[in-house]
Amino acid sequence: MLKKLFTKKPKEKVLVGMSGGVDSSVAALLLQKQGYDVYGAFMKNWSDTKNKITGQCAWVEEREHALKIAAKLQIPIITLDFEDEYRELVIDKMFDKYKKGITPNPDIDCNQKIKFPMFIKEAKKRGINLIATGHYARIKKKSSVVSRQSSKKTENRKLKTKNYVYEMHRAKDESKDQSYFLYRQNQNDLAHTLFPIGNLTKKKVRKIAEKHKFQNANKKGTVGICFIGKINLKEFLQQKIKPKKGKILDPEGKQIGEHDGIYYYTIGQRLGPRYGFEINRDQSTGQVLKWYVARKDAKKNIIVAAPQGHPLNFRQEIIVTDLHLIDEDKKEFKQNLPRKVFSRIRQVGELIPTTLTIKNKKLIATLDKPITGVSEGQAIVLYDKTKVLGGGVIGF
C-alpha cells in the first residue's frame, strides 16, 4: 500500500517541433523545466532552398541548429520528412490558385494540413500524447457541461458530463502574434498542443536563450513562405506558370501599361518600372504617380490599376467564404448574427472593428472603415477581444 502511495507518477511526454530557431528552442527548455519528458523533432519539408554563399540546403543548416540545442538540453531528437506531402498539399495547391489569379496563404495551409495533423500523428505513433511548437499564441482549456442520454437500463435519464473546449487567444507579444496563421486549427489540434512561449515577449525569449548560452539566441527569425523562406515570389512562380502579357488599365478603362501575367501580382501591390513597365506621369506636375493593383480579371488577363487614394483601392465590405470556427458551432454562429467582432486581413495587421451579417446567403464582414490591400484568397481572421473565433477566405 505504502509503495503505491509513494510511487512517482510518470512524466508526461511531449514532442517539440524544433526548427533550429530561438523560439522553438526556448519552448523545449521551458517544457523541460516544467517537468515534461521532452523529445525533439525536426521537420524536413523543403529541400530546394539553398544558402547563396555556401550552396548548402537551408534545411540542413537549420537541422544542425536544432541538433545542437537538443544536445545541450540532453533530449533525443528525430527528423520527420514531410516533403512529399508538403509539395502536394501546400505548394502544388498554391500554384493552382495563383494560376487562377488568386493570392493564397501557404503558411495557413501548412499549419492546417502538415504541421499539426501530421506532427500529432507521428507523436501518437511513439506513444506521445502532446506536441509543442514555438508559435506566439495561447491556448485556454475550459470545462463545458454536456448533456447526453443514458442507456435504457437507467430509463433514458439525461446525464450531464464534463467536457472540455479549447480556445485560442492572441499572444502576449502583439508584435509577434501568429494566431492569424493558426485560425484553421481544430479542437483535436488544440487538445494535443502546447504553446510554451505564448505568454512571453520576443525580447524575453531571447534573454532566456542568452542566459542558457543557446547559439541561436540572436538568430534572425525566418521570413517568407513556411519552410521555404524568403524568395523572389515572381521567379518562384515562373517555375510552373509561364508569363502571359496583358493590359494594365486605369479606373476609366484606358490602357496605361502592360504586365507579364496577372498571377505574379496581388491586390495592393505597387506598380512601376521595376516590374517591367512604365506608369504615366502626372500631366500637371510631371511626377510619377504611385499606382497600385486595384482589381484583377483572370479570364481576360487584365489588371486594373488606380493611383494612391483612389476609391478603387479601398474595400469596406468583404465576402467571407469557407468559414472555419475554432470552438463555436457554425450553424448557431450564423443564427446569432449580426455580431460585432474584430478582424485582421494580414498577420499583425490592424485589428479592425467589424460587423458580421448574412446577405444573400453570404457571410459579409463590414469593416468600420475602408482599407487597402484586400486580396481574394487571403485570410480574414475574426476575434472577440483576444480570443480567436476563427476566420475564412476573402472572396469577391
CATH number of domain containing 328: 2.40.30.10
Say whether pLDDT at 283 is over 70.
no
User: Are 57 and 31 in the same domain?
Assistant: yes
| Residue 196, preceding peptide bond in cis (omega within 30° of 0) | no
Cα(234)–Cα(68) distance, rounded to whole angstroms?
A: 35
Say whether pLDDT at 56 is over 60.
no
- Going by C-alpha positions, the residue among 324, 316, 304 that lies closest to residue 379 is 324
User: Is residue 2 in some structural domain?
Assistant: no
> Cα-Cα-Cα-Cα dihedral of 330, 331, 335, 340, to 10°?
0
User: Is residue 3 in some structural domain?
Assistant: no
Cα(68)–Cα(20) distance, rounded to whole angstroms?
A: 9
Q: How far is CA 374 from the centre of its chain?
A: 17
What average pLDDT score do residues 372-390 get? 96
Active site residues: 110, 226
User: Are 149 and 198 in the same domain?
Assistant: yes
Give tens-digit pLDDT for 313-326. 999 999 999 999 99
Output the nine-digit C-alpha cell for 319.
465576402
Cα(235)–Cα(241) distance, rounded to whole angstroms?
A: 10
User: Is residue 387 in some structural domain?
Assistant: yes
User: Are 321 and 297 in the same domain?
Assistant: no
What average pLDDT score do residues 41-55 get? 66
- 170 pLDDT band, cuts 50/70/90, is very high
What average pLDDT score do residues 293-297 get? 94
Q: What's residue 159's pLDDT? A: 45
Percent of the chain with pLDDT over 90: 70
User: Are 318 and 303 in the same domain?
Assistant: no
Question: At what angle are helices 22-33 and 202-211 packed, to 10 degrees?
Answer: 70
User: Is residue 236 in some structural domain?
Assistant: no
Contact 78, 90 (CB under 8 A): no
User: Are 125 and 102 in the same domain?
Assistant: yes
Percent of the chain with pLDDT over 70: 84
- Going by C-alpha positions, the residue among 99, 122, 119 that lies closest to residue 111 is 119
User: Is residue 219 in some structural domain?
Assistant: no
Q: What's residue 137's pLDDT? A: 98
Give whole-number Cα distances, 233 to 84, 225, 240, 294, 299, in Å.
21, 9, 12, 19, 22
- Going by C-alpha positions, the residue among 221, 233, 230, 182 that lies closest to residue 344 is 182
How many domains are contained in the chain? 3
Task: For the beta carbon of residue 217, count every other beta carbon within 10 angstroms.
Answer: 17
User: Are 198 and 114 in the same domain?
Assistant: yes
What average pLDDT score do residues 125-150 get? 85
Give tens-digit pLDDT for 195-215. 999 999 999 999 999 999 999
Q: What's residue 16's pLDDT? A: 98
Q: Please list, in sequence order, all residues whose beta carbon lies within 8 angstroms of the beta carbon of residue 189, skipping any fewer than 6 positions away.
A: 116, 117, 120
User: Are 341 and 280 in the same domain?
Assistant: no
- 8 pLDDT band, cuts 50/70/90, is low
Say whether pLDDT at 149 is over 50.
yes
Q: What's residue 223's pLDDT? A: 61
Q: What's residue 5's pLDDT? A: 44
User: Is residue 223 in some structural domain?
Assistant: no
Backbone angles phi, psi at 231, to 5 degrees: -140, 165
Query: What range does the domain containing 287 cover?
Result: 244-309
User: Are 359 and 275 in the same domain?
Assistant: no
User: Are 87 and 175 in the same domain?
Assistant: yes
Q: What's residue 1's pLDDT? A: 47
Q: What Rg value do the Cα atoms of the chain yield, rounded?
A: 24
User: Are 172 and 289 in the same domain?
Assistant: no
- 158 pLDDT band, cuts 50/70/90, is low
Last residue of a domain, one of 156, 189, 211: 211
Say whether pLDDT at 310 is over 60.
yes
Last residue of a domain, one of 309, 335, 363: 309
User: Are 150 and 17 in the same domain?
Assistant: yes
The SS3 assignment for 21 reads coil
- Its pTM stands at 0.87
Last residue of a domain, one of 285, 309, 333: 309
Cα(31)–Cα(20) distance, rounded to whole angstroms?
A: 17
Residue written as grid cell 446525464: 159
User: Is residue 238 in some structural domain?
Assistant: no
User: Are 271 and 335 in the same domain?
Assistant: no
Contact 28, 67 (CB under 8 A): no
**Bridge-based pairing state of the strands 387-395 and 158-170:** antiparallel
Contact 70, 76 (CB under 8 A): yes
Q: Say which range, 64-68, 189-193, 274-278, 341-345, has the weakest mean pLDDT.
A: 274-278
CATH number of domain containing 131: 3.40.50.620
- 162 pLDDT band, cuts 50/70/90, is low
User: Is residue 220 in some structural domain?
Assistant: no
